[in-house]
Amino acid sequence: MIPARTRIKICGLTREQDVAAAAEAGADAVGFVLYAKSPRAVTLERAAALARGLPPYVTPVCLLVNATEEAARAVGEALPQAVLQFHGDETPEQCRAAGRPYLRAVRMAEGVDLLDFAARFTDAQGLLLDAFVDGYGGGGKVFDWSLIPPHVPLPVVLSGGLSPANVTDGVLRLRPSAVDVSSGVEAGKGVKDAGLIRRFCEAVREADARINDAGA
């Protein structure tokens, strides 16, 4: 039996020290928001500069919202190791056009058919589940986890209002492939707290350990 290991993504990074804190805490990926209307937005040039400080095996993820194909392709040129995260109203064809590995965000609410998303975006590396609010992004809100069907045929990345206080429960209940946090480890918008990042990662590993112990 392969031991459980939930992947961790720390999103909305804007500072070198926060990138370093995420890597030191054991994050598997870090997210850069390339959406100008976000309070955590960075330019592509800034994202590329921040990504240069990443150690091996920590993946940069670039969040896009209804970006043009040219803009998406530019990300791949500036950050060839990056995964794209489409967080708007992109079609499967638009996600594939960039020719890059990608995650498809799903804004979860009553009536959202997650299995239909999985059937349409079959080549996505995973579905990132966030809360449905006005605009794009979860705004630090937890959605109703019971909306997630029991057998999603793509990896699930749990997002939306996660924090060190609730992520252990989320991993134990839902067994996602990965978890994604932004506001839950912040001292202010776009300014991360190294202690909260560390506690978030520790809480995920605690959940993994409990899962592995239960299966022993």
Per residue in 152-203, pLDDT tens? Answer: 999 999 999 999 999 999 999 999 999 999 999 999 888 999 999 999 999 9
| Cα–Cα dist 59/205, whole Å | 19
Which backbone phi and psi does 139 adopt, to 5 degrees?
Answer: 65, 25
**pLDDT beyond 70 at 216:** no
Tell me what pLDDT residue 137 has: 58
**3-class DSSP assignment, residue 88:** coil
Q: Which 8-state DSSP code applies to residue 57?
A: T
Residue 130 C-alpha from the chain's centroid: 9
Question: How far is residue 121 from each of residues 52, 114, 129, measured CA to CA in Å?
Answer: 30, 11, 14
Q: Residue 97 class from Cβ within 10 Å (0-12 exposed, 13-18 middle, 19+ buried)?
A: middle
Q: Are 93 and 41 in contact (CB under 8 A)?
A: no
Residue 2: pLDDT band by 50, 70, 90 thresholds? confident
| Cα–Cα dist 196/184, whole Å | 8
User: Among all residues, which ones are annotated catalytic?
Assistant: 11, 130
Tokens 């978890």 — which residue?
179
Q: Are 5 and 198 in contact (CB under 8 A)?
A: no
Q: What pTM value is reported for the model?
A: 0.95
| Cα–Cα dist 79/75, whole Å | 6
CATH number for region 7-215? 3.20.20.70
Tokens 């492939």 — which residue?
177
Q: Where are the domains of the chain?
A: 7-215
Count of Cβ atoms closer than 10 Å to residue 60 Cβ: 22
Question: How far is residue 184 from each of residues 73, 170, 181, 196, measured CA to CA in Å?
Answer: 30, 14, 6, 8
Per residue in 42-94, pLDDT tens? Answer: 999 999 999 999 999 999 999 999 999 999 999 999 999 999 999 999 999 99
